[in-house]
Amino acid sequence: MGKRVADALVDTPAAHGVRRIYGVAGDSLNGITDSIRDREGMDWTAVRHEEAAAFAAGAEAHLTGRLAVCAGNCGPGNLHLINGLYDRRSGQGQPLALAGSCGECSPTRGRLMR
């Protein structure tokens, strides 16, 4: 199988020493979680809320001085990253946020969240 876009997206932080990505799994992040599952040395750290993912990545970046990554699902999930990212707006260790997107062709478009 050829290289997927999600593989390239995960390769970049991995090349900079990222060992985990914090987030809530969902449709807009399935490609990323699949890519992480298929590789050694990278883990998906599941949290219950995107805000917790941003705070966790911010704390890791602050404590280690290395790049840390959080991910949010499309819509409100991305919005929920903001509080955790804002907390790290100054000082050492600012995390990278990956924001999922729901396109027009999304299989869940128009459905209610459960």
Domain contains 113 = no
92, part of any domain: yes
Q: How far apart are CA 45 and CA 39, in angstroms?
A: 14
Residue 111 lies in a domain: no
**30 lies in a domain?**
yes
Q: What is the CATH number of the domain that holds 17?
A: 3.40.50.970
Q: 61-98 pLDDT, tens per residue?
A: 999 999 999 999 888 888 889 988 888 877 777 899 99
When pLDDT is cut at 50, 70 and 90, the band that residue 101 belongs to is: confident
**pTM over 0.75, yes/no:** yes
Domain that holds residue 68: 5-99
CA 3, 4, 7: angle at the middle one, nearest 5?
Answer: 90
Contact indicator for 56, 22 with CB cutoff of 8 Å: yes
For the record, the structure tokens of 72 come out as 């949010």
CA distance 3 to 7: 6
Q: What is the domain count for the chain? A: 1
